[in-house]
Structure 1
Amino acid sequence: MLVKSIGFLDNFNGDFTVSDGGSHVNVPAGTAVLRIATEAGMFEIHPNASGEMALVSMRIDACDAIEARNLVQNATAPVLDHISFMGGTPIITGLTRIYDDTNQASTLDLIAPEQAVTLNPGNGTLFADLAPIYALYREFKNTVSPFYRLLCAYKILEGIYGVLRKSARKRATEKGIRLIIPKEVVPDHPDIAKDLRHLVGKPIKTVCDNVLQKRYRDAAAHFLVQETQVLRVSSAEERAKFADMAFLCDLCAQIVIHNHEAALRHLK
């Protein structure tokens, strides 16, 4: 289903139809459906009653829902990307429903909403040194792009390790204070991707320098996976890989920020 704005869904209808979707792209008057041939097969774009591109559908052979989603996204995304460029307008996908004809089962693919939190009623301290870091963390949480999320997370870690820690240690030396920062390692969490679990327990700084920067940040920032290979941001596999690493980075960023806050309290 196509939608007009990006957002996390608080509620949704899994049995959506073309009337639930919409976009900023209108099809020619009288068009019932657009059929587009790709190397992976034919897919269709259905307009809603207002004539807006609203629903994309495709039949595909796959072993499971994840493979089906990836195949459909990889086949349809380049066309939607091109239409977005030609029209100079965003084209945003919302809910995706994968229906298994053999088992008569439906799978929904969506961006899950964030969990609600309750503010601590006690006093808090906003450290001016960390204002840019707080802003980057909020930016990280507000975006749904795994590529931009990862860049924000990297800038958080780079900013603290590269600038703020050095500044804090210098101030501590000037005040004659011994600044002790706890050992910072990648924490364990049940939702860390299987391919990234080997990083659990390793120093966050080492992971940032040797894994995050070289394999992810450089690819997103320089638009190159390798010198001869361009990063495809519409690739389902690439998006999933960056989303998995962005989740791990979120866990690490929280640890590093909290530890730096503690260091700044010690310097007051």
Structure 2
Amino acid sequence: NNRKENRMDKNLLIIEHPEVHYSGNIEVIIPESSRSQIQEIQKDRKERLYLGRAYLSSIYDNTRPYDKILKFAGATLIKMEEKELRFYISWQNSGVVFIFRRNSHKMLNRVEAYTKGTLPSNALDIFKSALYTLIDRLVYILKCPIYVQGIVLLINKKPLLYELPITFAGEKTIAYGGGFNSVHWFAPLDALEREAICSPSPFYKVLCRFRIYEGIVHYLRKELRSFANKINQKAKIPKTPRITTGELQALRIIKKPMSKIKTYKDIAESHRELRNGIAHFLMKEPKGAIIIPSRGLDRSAVEKGSQILRICNQKMIEPLWEYFNKYLSNEYNRGKILVDNSRPKDFPAY
């Protein structure tokens, strides 16, 4: 609740996790009209009743423009005969009653449930845990994909905050023809980042991005150094970038004492247990712990870890690209011939 707040536009206030955010990240967004109410709740911490509402879809869409980001038009492949259904699940020694609602085509597109918490962040985590536990069973039984397109937390029937993926809707332009050199040492890392960006799962993103980190440290640097020695290039491989105190605080690293973290490699390495907890069922540290995708706090930790790993990888790989382009690219490309195979010779002219 001490997270830095930045205005996204005149109607929305965004709380970033961490301060540096990227498209595709899951972010908490607060309507400007709710800001004063949240501040009052933070001052007067008592248990309150909130309504959580999740918008569901069988197609994950994170490309909506900002003016439509709060307009949820998706739906699942689950047909509802009634306009409203009550669905009960036993959860954490108690029970939660969800209300299923449908769209105009009679397809399930949102669920609601009441939850209690002293702070909106507490209520959101509790609602997410119950919500994903529900979705886990529905997907398993029905064998039908269900994605959470967005969550809104309401109090007294008014939206208090939203949890949404930051949209990829920013327009990109290709102005002229050209190309780029696919360097086989960098290509596997590009493939893994593409997998991470295109996946809606923060757990899969962490696995991909930790593999990128390992690839940079144990493969890419070694291969570039080997090629440099082969062509008698005396310029040394750049060291792993150090991180400033301001950058470290912006990432809000709390897993290790900040004094022990000197470089972006140190930050990425500190996520090894998180990665292991996703890749394996039981964790070694803390022993026997389990990371559960349906648990709200676990999802939040993994979402943040994915963002931090992306930042670390970018900071570590950019100097290596610069080194390659400056010292190695000419020899790497020597003898290669560019062939225009855009149209086969026997293909009719057009």
Category of TM-score, reference length = shorter chain: 0.7 to 0.9
- For 1:15 and 1:255, how far apart are their aligned partners in 2? 35
Q: CA deviation at 1:162?
A: 0.9
**May I ask how many residue pairs the two structures share in their alignment?**
261
Letter in 2 for 1:159: G
Q: Report the Cα offset of residue 202 of structure 1.
A: 2.1
CA contact (8 A) 1:74 1:236 kept: yes
Bigger proportion of residues as helix: 1
How far apart are 1:136 and its partner, in Å?
A: 1.4
How far did 1:217 drift?
1.2
Equivalent pair of 2:206/2:275 in contact (CA under 8 Å): yes
Code of the residue aligned with 2:320 in structure 1: it is H
Secondary structure at the aligned position of 1:154 is classed as helix
Q: Secondary structure at the match of 1:129?
A: coil
Distance between the aligned counterparts of 2:70 and 2:280, measured in 1? Answer: 38
Structure 1 length-normalised TM: 0.83
**Alignment correspondent of 1:112:** 166
Relative to structure 1, the CA distance from residue 183 to residue 256 in structure 2 (aligned partners, 3 Å threshold; closer, same or farther) is closer
Unpaired runs of 5+ residues, structure 2, are 1-54, 332-350
Is the alpha carbon distance of 1:108 and 1:162 closer, same or farther for their aligned partners in structure 2, counting shifts above 3 Å? same
1:24 aligns with 2:81: no
Once the two structures are TM-superposed, the CA of residue 86 in structure 1 deviates from its matched residue by: 0.7
Partner of 1:94: 149
Q: Distance in 1 between matches of 2:255 and 2:123?
A: 23
What is the SS of the residue equivalent to 1:59?
A: strand
CA RMSD of aligned residues (A): 3.0
Say which SS state the counterpart of residue 144 (structure 1) adopts: coil
SS in structure 1 of the partner of residue 283 of structure 2: strand
What secondary structure sits across from 2:186 in the alignment? helix
Match of 1:3 in 2: 57
5+ residue gaps, structure 1, are: none
Deviations 1:200-236 (A, max 9, x none): 9622333333x122x2111111133345233201111
Deviation at 1:238, TM superposition (A): 0.9
Report whether the alignment pairs 1:216 with 2:274.
Answer: yes
User: For residue 48 of structure 1, what is the amino acid of its counterpart?
Assistant: N
4+ long deviations beyond 6 Å: 118-123
SS in 2 for 1:97: strand
Cα 1:224/1:116, change in 2 over 3 Å: farther
2:86 maps to which of 31, 34, 51: 34
Question: Does the Cα contact within 8 Å between 1:143 and 1:149 map onto a contact in 2?
Answer: yes
Whole-angstrom CA distance in 1 between matches of 2:277 and 2:294: 14
CA distance in 1, matches of 2:180, 2:196: 22
Tell me how far 1:120 sits from its aligned partner.
9.3
Given candidates 191, 199, 216, the residue that maps to 1:143 is 199
Structure exhibiting the larger radius of gyration computed from Cα positions: 2
Asked if 2 retains the 8 angstrom alpha-carbon contact of 1:185 and 1:201, the reply is no
1: CA distance, partners of 2:173 / 2:261: 29
Residue aligning to 1:195: 254
Of 256, 260, 268, 2:316 maps to 256
Write 1 or 2 for the structure with the bigger share of strand. 2
Paired residues of 2:86 and 2:97 also in contact (CA < 8 A): no
Per-residue CA deviations over 1:15-64 (Å, capped at 9, x if unaligned) read 76xxx45211224x346313314325322212334332221111122223
Q: Distance in 1 between matches of 2:76 and 2:254?
A: 36
Q: Is 1:157–1:253's contact at 8 Å kept on the other side of the alignment? A: yes
Aligned with 2:105 (options 30, 50, 69):
50
Any conservation in 1 of the 2:56–2:148 contact (CA below 8 Å)? yes
Query: Against the structure 1 CA distance between its residues 14 and 170, is the aligned structure 2 distance closer, same or farther, given a 3 Å change threshold?
Result: closer
Structure-2 separation of matches of 1:50 and 1:200: 56
Structure 1, residues 180-216: CA drift from partner, whole Å, max 9, x if none?
313423461775246369389622333333x122x21
Contact 1:185 1:200 in 2 (8 A): no
Shift of 1:119: 6.8
Contact 1:23 1:91 in 2 (8 A): yes
Residue of 173, 180, 185 corresponding to 2:242:
185
